[in-house]
Structure 1
Amino acid sequence: MDHTVFDPGWWTTAVELPVLGGLAMLLWRTRQETDHRVDELEHRLEIGLGQARDALSAYKLEVAKSYATTGYLKDVEHRLTEHLVRIEAKLDGCQGCVK
């Protein structure tokens, strides 16, 4: 029996095939974990975007409630103008009294 002869079939069967199989399993498992993490990140992103949209909608509603309407501003302007005209009339009436 000559044990010094190198048999490539033995090397392929005993070493290369198990190593390639383990490498394939490692790649498959890594791919599965990556896909799972991407799905999880997409889910988190969708939740975050939904919350951001809700917050923006609530902010827009609050702004719409707190800002004065054009009609209200015109009413305030009209009342202020009337009040200033009355003050001016009183001052004009008192100019003759001060002499």
Structure 2
Amino acid sequence: MEAFFEDGVAWWVSAIELPALAGLLALVMHQRELMAQEKLEAMRNFASIAAVRELEQRLASHLLRIEAKLDATALKAEALTGRER
């Protein structure tokens, strides 16, 4: 019985488990290479740092103008409510 179990396990490992693990290793390595290529492609197609900085400056200036208008409106509203009292 013991010899049968040992032979069965050895057969299983050599015939099924080792080729399956080798296939999985090859698949993982292939997927890893594809992922690295995809990351490189994404970096190439991504917006440049200069373009992002320009966009950030434009958005900041727009927000500052909006804030100034809101401040002016708040001051006018405060002045009107002060007169009504």
Scaled by the length of structure 1, the TM-score of the pair is 0.45
Alpha-carbon deviation of 1:39? 1.4
- Which whole-Å deviations, capped at 9, do the CAs of 1:39-68 have from their partners, x for residues lacking one? 112211110110110011011001101101
Q: How does 1:1-99 map to 2 (within 5 A)?
A: 23-36=1-14, 37-74=16-53
Q: Which structure 1 residue ranges, 5 or more long, are not aligned?
A: 1-22, 79-99
How far, CA to CA, are the matches of 1:76 and 1:24 in structure 2?
74
The alignment partner of 1:68 has SS state of: coil
Q: Where does structure 1 differ by over 3 angstroms across 4 or more consecutive aligned residues?
A: 23-26, 73-78
How far, CA to CA, are the matches of 1:34 and 1:63 in structure 2?
43
- Which of the pair has more CA radius of gyration? 1
* Aligned pairs, number: 56
Scaled by the length of structure 2, the TM-score of the pair is 0.52
